[in-house]
Chains A and B, each alone.
Chain A
């Protein structure tokens, strides 16, 4: 039992901000951070679709392979420090992932390790039940309601669920928790609620809102310690950045820090940068565990790489939760070519004209054809003003990117063909990388469903 448990404080570290994040900062936080919990976010909107695709090919898959590898790498040290590892790396198959982790624990000689799996977010098999029950499933952004027209193309449907399953897992003595699509910050809200014995009621609304807020700040790991920063030039040693650590107090206030000597920086501005990230109305940051008012909090720099967060207010959990339905929606064909000084832009314009002629000759059937001039307007489009003619003529190099939406892979393949025709039909100096393969598109249909329709279940496996 660590001292922090007696002082009304729980200490949590961020172990991952996305599928693909570095493992060494998690290892550093685990070995030097004196953590009660280390929490890993691996999931993004598209991830569930990719994992469903894997599971369709092999029913044993569908979890995040990196999550299993991370647990294997960290479990021995976590047992030494008494740290519990919590992740949403179960993806669309928490059971399959948990079984792998149990096998790894046995192989590592960590008998008795308790691995909890949290399920219930996967609604793919229950979609028709929801439709039959009259749940409207209206698209949150567009207001469309005719999901029926694409029902047979649906490949994933997952609800962002709350921390209840994680709380139950921890109450069951779990050393490792593996969930499906819980909300990112539920990974942090869960252990905080468990530690202090909080319930989802009005009396705890402000403190749970504070937990949601701290979860939001740290859930993308290095994104609040100097990653993605506008002040990138002032961020030391980002290649060995320290992930954030939260000391969360029973009154809902918290201190953010990171391991001493690690790279990056934690100050009021790095925290502000992530507070505003990917939110809508900051007065109502809506999560399955509750609603947080980000305009109510105060940030105080209390030392080097140390920021206090206090005063968060909020409201109890909403009656509806977000369900994201993914459906197959055609293909994308894509190409790039690059053109040198002199007159790089004129060469790129000529190449675009040639590609459009090729598309016509090849009878390309496209929903949408899109061109970018790399180095001029690929990132900001209409918001990027073209340089004047003199500066355009002097550009060192410019690229032409083409992306086309089609209904079939055969049509998308025509974009790759047309772009390779530019090898000789194109302007002098035309240069290429490796041609890109067509890729399938999965579009998302976000909607809201009544919370009471979702049932999380927990099972604890023992190594």
Chain B
């Protein structure tokens, strides 16, 4: 059975304008290298398809074993004007947990 990020990570996501930001946190320090190896802007864009329209940036935080994923154009216009129910992207970032763990 392929391991997924949901097996090794926690996540919290939210919004800034039309940007969705999601922080992935390794459950243990030992999980952190696998987290970093499993997430890239290309994989994130492929996962979300047309729900993420802009650039994706990934920022590692070695000190707390986390990775911040910033997705531009990801909220259908932003909280105040989007047609989606998840206006502030609280749920959206959780889909990142579907990514397979690299080499896992």
Contact = CB atoms under 8 A, between A and B. Distances in A.
A382 B25 contact: no
Interface string A250-286: 0000000000000000001100111111111111000
B78 A444 contact: yes
B79 A45 contact: yes
A247 to B, nearest CB: 21
Interface string B59-80: 1011110101010100011111
Contacts of B62: 295
Interface string A363-398: 000001010100000111111100000000000000
Given A272-B66, A277-B12, A280-B16, A381 B80 contact: no
Contact of A381 (B51, B68, B81): B51
Given A276-B12, A277-B12, A383-B95, A332 B83 contact: yes
Interface string B67-104: 01010100011111101111000111011001000000
Contact of B48 (A46, A230, A383): A383
B95 A298 contact: no
B80 A441 contact: yes
A274 B25 CA distance: 11
A241 interface: no
A60 interface: no
Interface residues of A, number: 51
Nearest to B69: A276
Contact of A368 (B49, B83, B95): B83
Nearest to A403: B83
Contacts of B91: 379-380
A268 B63 CA distance: 12
A49 B80 contact: yes
Contact of B17 (A379, A383, A446): A446
A10 interface: no
A141 B17 contact: yes
B61 A282 contact: yes
A171 interface: no
A381 B21 contact: no
Contact of A442 (B51, B80, B86, B94): B80
Contacts of A443: 77-78, 80-81
Choose among A229, A326, A381 the residue with the greatest number of B CB atoms under 10 Å from its CB. A381
**Interface of B (DSSP majority class):** mixed
Contacts, number: 137
A382 B50 contact: yes
Interface residues of B, number: 44
Given A294-B61, A295-B62, A329-B81, A45 B17 contact: yes
**Interface of A (DSSP majority class):** mixed
A327 to B, nearest CB: 10
A444 B77 CA distance: 9
Contacts of A326: 80
B17 A382 contact: no
A379 B92 contact: yes
A280 B21 contact: yes
B49 to A, nearest CB: 3
Given A275-B23, A299-B64, A383 B47 contact: yes
B10 A282 contact: no
A380 B94 contact: yes
A181 interface: no
A370 B84 contact: yes
Interface in A132-171: 140-141
A183 to B, nearest CB: 13
A277 B66 CA distance: 11
A455 interface: no
A296 interface: yes
Nearest to A330: B81
B37 to A, nearest CB: 19
Contacts of A141: 17-19, 72
Choose among B18, B62, B70, B81 the residue with the greatest number of A CB atoms under 10 Å from its CB. B81
Q: Closest 8 CB pairs between A and B?
A: A276-B23, A382-B49, A230-B10, A403-B83, A383-B95, A370-B83, A379-B91, A278-B14
Given A45-B80, A49-B80, A405-B81, 4 more contacts: A230-B12, A276-B61, A279-B68, A403-B84
